[in-house]
Structures are given as structure tokens and as C-alpha cells.
Structure 1
């Protein structure tokens, strides 16, 4: 019996020496190498928000001989990802060398990465990755297309869409639930078009508004889910037509191509008229208000003049269906003749003997026939045509008389007038220091307005007689004038202004009262709104 005790004592002592276990919980190594900390189980689990993972995360500390080491402190840390909760920040290995922690998931969908490591164990830490997935769908949330405005019986410009979410707002799958659209106000109609699955179940529809002016509402239901409600409004299109990139559409040049919108003279009720693949700009009303003309980027960025009905229907291309080398690079500034029978416009186009492409002015019948070129030459930049109220003359701008030894883009711009057939072209302004641009006839035809530029934000509105006499300054305009049009009574301007010093982004539209000089901002976007035309 004594010999057995002695033997047992020797075994215990030897065990302590070898590090197999001495009963005091200390970590050590064996004769074959250092301790190792490794993942045992619990990795790559997934559960819904707010749940506790069904299995704990477990690591094991062993020696080189695969013997579990008791009493090693293991620290647990959330490395990165969505928020989760750990049952303990530090655990101690048991007699078999295992340490574990329980994970409770938060309310955000995504991945969480968790690290286990010990100061007593060298080498790489153990790592776990767990996934938090959405819970069951609880409600619909509006995703796109809410609060649009258009005229009665019109199809809304943008599709309406709602996404299913769980109680915490995470995107969720509808599963077997069937979405149902219902018109709840306004007597319009709604047509389901798709349920897309990326990034989650989003339900889409096309909404046709009712025939009456006022509020329209549509509701999306599915089973016991809280519904999504969309609101739209029918209104009479405003008399100001303009181009905008507020919907993020347009062509090659951000400041020159977008969608066409209506708005009221106070800037309210902006509503989309039309959109195209490349973008539209430079809209102008026909004299009777039944049609519009505009420029559109086509054929990979080249321009053309189009005409359409005032509701955007019956869009017709008028210019440049010729072979590629005869097309205009830029075709813009369309202006109706007072009788609505013709359009004047400017074309940037190459010509024989010209080193660079340049602008010249054309007229064309409103049906696309009878195109005639009114100006010629290289480096002249003949642009910005505007018809006199009686249709007999056209004012425009040109650089034709600037000294030819000055680079084209630095030559001063002056105002000219010609007969409507292109004859008798006469210079009206002569200012070698300042550019004189954007001529417009007054409503009664007694004066010509124009912009004199003295610096980036030193623009002045001037007027003169149609023969160039009696020039006078009317007022200073705070910003750089891009374009403008007159109100029906001729007492106000609707202007596109550019803040050279960044007071507002892009180009924005303003109203200017000519008598008082009061400037009122109509649009307020972080992009471009421009080329406003006021229906007469």
C-alpha cells in the first residue's frame, strides 16, 4: 500500500513537470512545444435579428501533444461588422481545454467577426464569423415614386415601388405573401409590373392618375403586413417650361442635357413633361402654346431639333437625318417665328476652309422642310437667334468682326440684326472690352434687350432700339446669366443664373422684376435647372 502511494506521488510530480496538470489551474507547455488556441465549433452560424445563436462559440487550448490545458484565460473581442453581444468578455478553459461564449444578435442585418485570443498562448487568434439575417416581414416601406405631381389622367413619370422590411426596418423577403395594389383616392388605376429580389423583395407598379385635380393615393398590402401608402397630386401644368437634371438623367454634357419640366411662375408644382435616353434642353413654347420645340442629344451626343405637342406626345425630329459627316455637332437655341410656321436655330458644324467647327444660324419650317442657312463664315459663332414680334427680322450674336489675330474663344461677342431671310446683316453693338450677348426683342418690338458681361458675376441688362441707338443700362444682375425669357406682359424675366463663386450649385432658375429689380429664386437643387421658357 505504501509503495502504491509512493508511486502515485511520483506520477503526480512527473505530471507537474510535464505540464499535464497539477490541480492548480495553471497553463503550461509540454515537452513537444507551445500551447495552441484553435476554433472548435460555432463558426459560420446565422440567425434572425434579436436571436441568441443556438450554439456557443468554442475554442480549445492544447499542447503539442493535443492535451487540453486548463486554466487559460481567453479574451473575446468583436473585431468588426454589425453589433452583437457576447455573454462574457473573458472565459477560462476547463479541464479539457475548452472555453466558450454565447452570442446574442443585434437589430442590424449583416456579418460580425469575433476574435478569441490569450496572452498566454502564442500564434494566431481563433476567429469566428456569424450572420444576422432579417426577421419575418412586418410592413412595407415606400422605396420610390412617392409625392409626384402630374396632370389629370397622366401616367406618373416614375414607377412606384415599396420594399418589405422586418420590425427593425431591415429588408425582408415576402416568401409566400402576395402583394396587392389598391387605389384608395383619386379614381386612377395602378398596374403591377414586377417584384424584384435585389437587395430584397421590392414591389413595383405603374400609376395612372385620376381625371380630377387634387390628391391621389394608392396602397400596397400583403397579408397582415402594415401597408405602404403613396400620394400623388394632379395639377394643371404651369406656364414655365425648363430643362433639369434633378432626376439624374441626361446625356454627355451634364449642364446641357436632362429632362423637360413644367412649373408655375412661383416655382411650385414642378412636373415632368418628358425624358429621353440622351437628354433634352433648350425648350421653347410655340406662340399659341400648343407645341414645344427643343434640342435633343441623339446619335451618340450629336444634336437635333425636335417638336412635340404640349403634353409631350407626337415627338418629331426636324433636323439632320443626313449622313454622319453632314450633321451638326451641337444644334440648339430653337426659336419659333411669331406665326408658328418656322423655327430659327443655331448649329455648330464643320465647313470647308474652317479649321474648327463653328456656329451658324438656320431657319426651317415647323414640319421639317425648307431648311435654309442664314449665316456663313469661320470663327463667327453666329448664335442666339430671336425673331422680332412681326417676324420680319432676327437678332443674334456673333464674333465675326473681332480681330482675327485673337483666339476664337477670346474674341468679343456682339449683337447683330438681319432680315428673316438672312439679308442685310447689321452690327448693333460695339464693345471691344465686354461681351454683349443673349439679345431678346421686347413684347412690343420697340426695344432689344441684351446682356453685357463685365466679369463672372458682373452681368448687366441693357436695352436699345432695334437699329442700335439709345443704348441704356437697366439694372445689374447679381450672377452670370445663362439664358432668359420674358413674361407674357414683358414686365419680368425668367432667368437661368450661374453662381461663379459657388453660392448655389449648378445652374438655377430665377424671376426678375424689371421695374423693381427684385430677384426671386424658383428652383433649389444640387444640380442643373436651366433654359426656362414662359408660355405667352
Structure 2
């Protein structure tokens, strides 16, 4: 439960060497100690015996009894008396250091017990754990806090690690890592491209930004107490860690992309095999190839697996194990996702256009067309948000449309390559000028840095 830091050990030894000059308060320390029965058995008046001892050998029985019974306060008094008798004694110095380390251990154990009791009794364990973590930031020792779920009630935990729309987003021009932000309950988890894809969490509203260990990765999926990700420091192999950054471990040796964790399965394409589509259990077992063709992102929503071919036209639906596949669109879906009873996709059609179709392929509607560029798009409950340059005479940036009327509203001039959302329909993007995260309110146009 406890680790002593270098700084704390240095402090211990500083105390120890200072004690070599026969501590003046040794007698006072002795007066404050109530010896155990085992120590009292050494003498009818053990404290007087310790104080009046003329040699280290006379103190030794008291010291031995104190250590054997865990009475480290009395052991400290004994060691201090030893140093009074012989300030140059290595044995006395060792005894003093041993007693002080043991007392520190007792103090840390008591603190751990107090924290554990607190976590089991407070109304908000996650907030209490965060408070304790902040208190310990300036100390030279570490308390290993028990893991505390950060999502509150069980119904707040994700069953899908990332939304379909967040899975298909990118972030940095030419560095086409994706799935850079996901959310669970009141927390947002994101990857920072300006820091080699370091993974952070931050509460909605921008408080409590925390680096999650030393992890770096993309395609972030949070399901309950675990965050699954493709580890960019290990060739995009699939890892998982606790949502506080601890217990990082490799799940699969597959170098994956487009990782989506849904229920008890991981779906991903394998970079080393021409981006064939696979699925596996959350521990990497039952690994099965679902498609031998190069695929884009695949996602299982409402019991239906959606997938798109990378090198050709075609958008498909199938059972979660890829059985009974059916074509639902012959368009080349450059970006697509399911949302609120529709499949939305952007496709080349005498320029670029955003379409939507029903999950069975019927009811195609064209929503937006441009002859310049659509870099990315996403949706909230009543808004279509698009980034790119939507006309030759228009400025590049983020444009918000009313989904029902397709009238444009909020516009933010910027260069970004992906649009992400959280549980509250806040919109997030990476400014490609400096690779930093920002947010925008699609209703008001208010914007700011995610820090």
C-alpha cells in the first residue's frame, strides 16, 4: 500500500545523523512513552531503566522487546539513549533509523486505513479520492489509493466504449489517428496529439484535468472501469488500463486501428493484414477475422454490424459475427455513422455531399452539397455540424446547420479535421494550427480551449 520516496528517505537519514550528537530531548521522549507489558517485564521501571542505562548493552533488552512487540515509540527512545551513550555507534544509528522508518510505516498504514474507511463511507468516493490525490501531490511519499469508479451509479457506465460518430473522426492533418475522444458519465477522455498522443481525462465543464499514467494512444474506448486504446508507443497494439491510469496491460498483439468496444467484443481492423476486419473478446480471446477485404471503421449498433469497404463502393450491414451481410448503399462512404435511426455518410457525387439513409438502405436524402471540401461532420440532437470549406467563396471553418431546415447558424473560422461530441452534445475539435483541443457550443457559438 505504501512506497517511500527518495526525498523521505533522505529526511530520515538527516534526522538520524543529527541524532548522533546525543539528542537533548531523549529524556522527554521517554517520559511520554507507556511501555508494553513485554517491555515492563524487563524491569519494574523500564523508562527509568532506559534513562539510567550506562551502556548500550543495558539498553539492548528494552530495545529488543520494543521491536518484537511493535512498540516503535519505545524503540525510538531506546535508540536515542544509545546515541547519548555513544554518539559514534553504528548500531545505535541503525536502531534510530529502524525505529523512525517503522514509525513512518505505521503512520502511512494508519493513513491508508483512514482513507479506505473514508472511501467506503462518503457519498462521493471519486471526489474524495481526487481530493486525497491533490493533497499528496507535494509530498515525498505515495499512497496507493484503492481504485474508485468515476461514473457513480452502475447505470451511468458505458456498454459501448465510444460512439459511432466519435470513432470515425480524425484530428491531425497527415497524422490520421482517430477515435481521439470519448465520454462516460461526467468525464471526457481524450488524446493530446501535441504530447505524442498522451491520454487525459477531464470532467465536463473543464475541471480536474488529469494525465492517465504514461499512456499514449488513440481509438479510446471507456467501458465501466476500463479504458481500451491502441497504444501508439507500441505500434498501435491494443491495451487497456483503469480509468485512473493504473494497471496498464496489453490485451492483444494485433496492431489495430478503428478499435470499437461494444458489449463484450472488440472490433478493429488489422494494419499488418491490409486492414482486414477482426473481432475478439475483451481479453483478446476468440479472435476471428470477419472480412478479408480492406475495411473502414466497423461498428455494432443495436445488434447490427455496419461496415464499409476501403477500396471500393459499398456500405454493409450484418449480424454482429458478420453473418448474413447485405448491401445498404452502393456509395463510397468516406465517412459514415449511425445516429438516431439514420445512417449518415459523406460521399463523392459530382462534388461532395452528405446523405442519410435508413438502416435498411431505404429513404435516401441529400442534406448538404459542396464542390470544395468537407473535412468532417457530426450531429447533435437537432444540429448538423460540418467542418471544411463549403464553397469557393466561403471561409474554411465549422458551420452549424439546423438539422430540420438545413439553415446555417453558428460559424467558427478554423482549420480542423475532426468533430467530437460528449454526453451533453458539446462539440470538441483539434485546431490543426497548433494541435490543441477546443470546444464549441453549437447553439451559441461560444468557444474555448479544453484545459
TM-score for both structures, normalised by structure 1: 0.40
Higher percent of residues as helix: 2
Higher RCO structure, 1 or 2 (CA under 8 Å, sep 6+): 2
Higher percent of residues as strand: 1
TM-score for both structures, normalised by structure 2: 0.46
